């Protein structure tokens, strides 16, 4: 492949990322159903014909936002976890990775949280598959942490989705000039989880062990 071809591919990739960034903002502001391709065109400054050069439909745009987000965050997490064995440290890395990414991409987080059911067909299946992969990585971390600490027999689904739920609504309250940034925020949330959920000082109810308790709907970003 020639240098010109590489440059063209890079430019095309950057243009698509630019479009998706503006599309995420449009969906976050208007909702997926309320937004149109024309709205995305106005927001991005890309003509309608230019948009259709990169994407076939509004459904594909939503899919690309979601699949790109999950592929990026999973790849970053896997890279950061490589060579780290301590379960507590792995948990902290996961929380930091999640919060760091979504504090930098709050519109994408809002779209993932509120438009989870809007995808259809193969788009929905593809996103569900990578979400299961992400969820599975975190369940493995939790199980290793519980085994090491001999923590309570808490249902892994309840524990992991509760952690996701704690993280996934930060777009509704986080103010960059007032609230902690990723490092301090992830430390605080990790501490709450490690010394709250993983504490073995108190008995866990049968309901939570069985998984019959309710789970914060915000966790839908993950599974």
| The model's pTM | 0.83
Q: What pLDDT band is residue 195 in, cutting at 50, 70 and 90?
A: confident
- The confidence score (pLDDT) of residue 13 equals 84
Nearest to 217, CA basis, from 131, 105, 112, 107: 112
CATH number of this structure's domain 1-55: 1.10.10.60
pLDDT tens-digit series, residues 73-92: 999 999 999 999 999 999 99
Distance (Å) of CA 25 to CA 31, 35, 78, 206, 218: 9, 10, 28, 43, 19
58-221 to CATH, choices 1.10.357.10, 3.20.20.70, 3.40.50.1000, 1.10.1040.10: 1.10.357.10
Tokens 């519980």 locate to 146
Is the pLDDT at 187 greater than 90? The verdict is yes
| Beta-carbon contacts of residue 27 (< 8 Å; ≥ 6 apart) | 35, 62, 65, 107, 111, 115
What are the structural domain ranges in the chain? 1-55, 58-221
- The confidence score (pLDDT) of residue 201 equals 52
Mean pLDDT throughout 100-122?
93
């Amino acid at each position: 492949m020639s240098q010109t071809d590489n440059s063209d591919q890079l430019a095309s990739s950057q243009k698509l990322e630019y479009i998706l960034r503006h599309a995420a903002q449009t969906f976050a502001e208007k909702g997926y159903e309320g937004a149109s391709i024309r709205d995305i065109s106005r927001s991005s400054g890309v003509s309608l014909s230019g948009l259709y050069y990169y994407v076939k439909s509004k459904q594909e745009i939503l899919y690309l936002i979601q699949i790109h987000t999950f592929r990026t965050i999973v790849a970053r997490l896997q890279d950061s976890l490589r060579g780290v064995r301590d379960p507590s440290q792995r948990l902290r890395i996961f929380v930091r990775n999640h919060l760091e990414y979504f504090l930098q991409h709050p519109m994408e987080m809002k779209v993932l949280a509120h438009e989870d059911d809007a995808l259809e067909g193969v788009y929905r299946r593809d996103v569900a598959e990578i979400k299961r992969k992400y969820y599975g990585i975190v369940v493995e971390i939790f199980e290793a942490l519980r085994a090491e600490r001999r923590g309570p027999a808490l249902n892994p689904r309840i524990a992991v989705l509760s952690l996701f739920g704690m993280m996934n609504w930060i777009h509704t309250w986080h103010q960059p000039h007032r609230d902690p940034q990723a490092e301090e925020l992830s430390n605080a949330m990790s501490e709450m989880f490690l010394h709250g959920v993983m504490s073995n000082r108190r008995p866990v109810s049968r309901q939570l062990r069985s998984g019959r308790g309710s789970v914060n709907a915000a966790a839908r970003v993950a599974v």
